[in-house]
Amino acid sequence: MKKTLIIITGQSGAGKSVALGALEDLGYFTVENLPVELISGFVGLGDEAPDKMSHMAITLRIINSASVSLLKSEISQLSQINVETEILYLSANTDTLIRRFQETRRSHPLIEASGSIFDAIQKEQLILKEVKDIATHIIDTSYTKSHDLRITIKKRYSISKSNSLRITLMSFGYRFGVPSEADLVMDVRFINNPHYIDDLREFDGLNQSVIDFVMKDESATQFISEFTDLLKFLLPQYLAREGKNHITIAFGCTGGKHRSVVIAEQLALKLKDMNYDATTVHRDRGRS
């Protein structure tokens, strides 16, 4: 299996940790502030866990010219063993970096005892000039919020063949309370209730007879059709504008045993057809 390594570098305070977190959300195996001389060794560890480390991402803190030369050597070694390597360089203007360090009350890694943040930023820019020249992709984060940077990273580096938004479809019973983790909650108690059918009461929404009963109700089929259309609009918005990588949609009926289970399962099938990673959880199916 071919391995991929994203090397995140650039100016201190430009958002390297934020970018690394976004890649971790996408499924990359990540390490922060890996020493430059350990890059090849780290990638080699991927041979021991190919399923977990086929896609890797690291941040580097380069503080002198020797580190730059070593980085070039490490990248050359990786190319010889067919590792797909990309250097993501993050930068920001001096005023922005100064403000960020002042707001967070962190010290710049190159600041000297009698020096200033400004001097440290200028020094780092000179050291990183060669790295910036060989970067695969450069992002200026001067006017970019952390939230927006995460979205940019996720759009560019997604490794999933399906839509990267994971969806949990949860059924529940209002009798036992609304799930606090739900992003969207839909009440499906308007659908005909199998509980009042003697031959169906003991079964749950995974039973074919219960499914057939629920789906014979035109209200159920119309709800599934129209809610699917709504999701076709909503889900890309959550991904593009909110940067979400997971959303929980809950469907409630009285006891959480029949109608909500059927609806959650039916909508999971619809979402899988739309190439989403959709799973079902039936919180109250076994409760009475």
Q: What is the pTM of this model?
A: 0.63
Q: What are the counts of helices (DSSP H) followed by strands (DSSP E) for the chain? A: 9, 9
**Per-residue tens of pLDDT for the chain, all 288 residues:** 678 999 999 999 999 999 999 999 888 999 999 999 999 999 988 777 777 788 999 999 888 888 899 999 999 889 888 889 999 999 999 999 999 998 888 888 888 765 788 999 999 999 999 999 999 999 999 998 888 898 888 878 877 654 567 899 999 999 999 999 899 999 999 999 999 999 999 999 999 999 999 999 999 999 999 999 999 999 888 876 666 678 999 999 999 999 999 999 999 999 999 988 899 999 999 887
In a domain, 253, yes or no: yes
Tell me the CATH number at 28.
Answer: 3.40.50.300
Domain boundary among 157, 180, 196: 157
Nearest to 181 by CA among 162, 191, 160, 167: 167
Q: Is residue 288 part of a domain?
A: no
* Same domain, residue pair 209 and 128: no
**287 in any annotated domain:** no
- Asked whether residue 99 falls in the same domain as residue 200, the answer is no
Total domains in the chain come to 2
Expressed as residue numbers, the domain containing 168 is: 163-282
Query: Given 126, 157, 188, which residue is the final one in a domain?
Result: 157
Same-domain check for residues 140 and 90: yes
The angle formed by the CA atoms of residues 62, 136 and 80, to the nearest 5 degrees, is 85
Helices 16-26 and 146-157 meet at what angle, rounded to 10?
50
DSSP state of 258: S
